[in-house]
Chain A
């Protein structure tokens, strides 16, 4: 049998390794990224099975390889990958399913409701299942959770470009004062009412010298405020990197942006790989088979 030739096994395994290694970035140069690795896996498996037919000592290795390739194939066909995107206090019972290469396939039911309760330090989050219930689970970047048919993991905070709360310091009065401003509610400092008109997470000026934001990341936060005193309204610009930039002579006060609490959504990976345990078993079997296939020959 041609497939049982050592050169075929070596070439199939070597080429498969080449397209699999992340440093090779095969997805950027292979004409059909999912097809080529699948074909190479099948070629390698065929070669190992053909060798096992001729050499009984290699049967355990071939059986292990069969389980691994089978598990990979099953998870490729029946496995599910996707993302849930939630803000604090939000709940959902669906996730966005993703196909090969991150292609969006649409919403799919989770089978339970998931709520995001709290953000914690170190990228950890607190979720409730079902949403709003007393059952709180902690999800960390380095520790996934199994819920229902899925595993939830890799929580990642993504800024939305909006702001939850700003802290504005007012200088020039008898005492330093601060106002906490939210998009919906104005803050109070001394006798000033400070409201938010517009927020720029990454402030810059465009070619017409108009204010704009370069990204949704809070890299250079700035805000246009509406300051009201005794029925008179003043527009004040504050920039986090330049405290006291804007002094309003009519008020005899200057303003600084001293705190920004950006609004974030948390992306949570949703994965279902039902054949993972079979793949693990296959690898352990293949490791044992490798030793079994070579030991007698070496002892001899």
Chain B
């Protein structure tokens, strides 16, 4: 089961990378994405795999690079969760499936808006800056901020696994990414400071590279020494992978890859994303009502907040890109 999910993640990752470097090849992107989704189909009985399947199907339909990368991260999370015998979280059922499709659609809508902004002459460094901020945020949230103390552990009790080596690499990645974000942020504020742009770009390349290295190290050690513990950290590890992939996409755009100029679909994705988020909220409320007797639960509140951010993203007013990013982030949190 876990191997099939991992293969699905790899296929979706390949489709996402192809979408970044050759966005015009939509048929090939869609085909590889569909293969990834097909690899997830046998796991449909496993509750943890259903959101990944929803994300993969949505991404294959949209053929958007970031959606493919999101689906790949969701498949990785499902693959790691399936290592555990015990259920590691409660996010199952129709609500999680709908939230996954909403996340994919919201991500595609944000990508469309970003591409449009870049086409209209916006600084491509902002794309890398977004990826850098996401990477820093995910590294900080990994192990609930323990990387700041150069330590990282997953699981509790018998399933506890301490990953000192991975913590050192990821801690270094955090420092490099933070430096890159600050430098690119300084350049965004004062565009004449060219050295900050160069330094920020190099620091983010270093941060992204070491993050990927640290992620690989953590997964390899976890698979070897504590699969149960790795399953407990599946969501945060998949989130880190997604953030690093967004950073890589941003750096590619910064370096002039065609992904930065790709023309994408219409604003229909925004309203479709909100409609799906509202349906996911309805399903989540029903699941909570039939499960624990009340729809007023923290999980339903998280679904509600995501739907509200979707509503906030719709009106034609200022900070459009930020509002769409907030909606996409809120739905991605539900998915991972």
Contacts and interface: CB of A to CB of B under 8 A. Distances in A.
Contact of A6 (B289, B296, B317): B317
A298 B268 contact: yes
B282 A144 contact: no
A279 B295 contact: yes
Nearest to A140: B291
Contact of B271 (A6, A18, A44, A294): A294
A233 B8 CA distance: 71
A7 B305 contact: no
A291 B323 CA distance: 19
B27 interface: no
Interface in B93-123: none
Interface of A: 5-7, 9-11, 13-14, 16-18, 20-23, 44, 64, 75, 81, 141-145, 151-154, 269-271, 273, 276, 279-280, 283-284, 286-288, 290-291, 293-295, 298
A17 B278 contact: no
Interface residues of B, number: 43
Contacts of A18: 305
6 contacts: A7-B318, A22-B301, A151-B293, A273-B295, A280-B285, A294-B270
A144 B289 contact: yes
B157 interface: no
A9 B274 CA distance: 14
A19 B311 CA distance: 15
Contact of A9 (B289, B304, B315): B315
Given A17-B308, A20-B308, A273-B294, A287 B275 contact: yes
A143 B330 contact: no
B278 to A, nearest CB: 4
Contacts of B315: 6-7, 9-10
B292 A290 contact: no
Interface string B294-335: 111010011011101101111111100001001000100100
Interface string B252-278: 000000000000001110111011101
Given A142-B292, A283-B281, A287-B282, 17 more contacts: A7-B317, A10-B314, A17-B312, A20-B301, A22-B301, A144-B290, A144-B291, A151-B293, A269-B292, A276-B289, A283-B282, A284-B278, A287-B279, A291-B275, A293-B271, A294-B268, A294-B270
A246 to B, nearest CB: 30
Interface of B: 266-268, 270-272, 274-276, 278-279, 281-282, 285-286, 289-296, 298, 301-302, 304-306, 308-309, 311-318, 323, 326, 330, 333
Contacts of B272: 291
Secondary structure type dominating chain A contacts: helix
Nearest to B293: A153
B294 A153 contact: yes
B298 A276 contact: no
B271 A22 contact: no
B291 A143 contact: yes
Contact of A16 (B267, B271, B308): B308
Contacts of B268: 294-295, 298
A17 B271 contact: no
A64 to B, nearest CB: 8
A280 B285 CA distance: 8
A279 B278 CA distance: 11
A288 B275 contact: yes
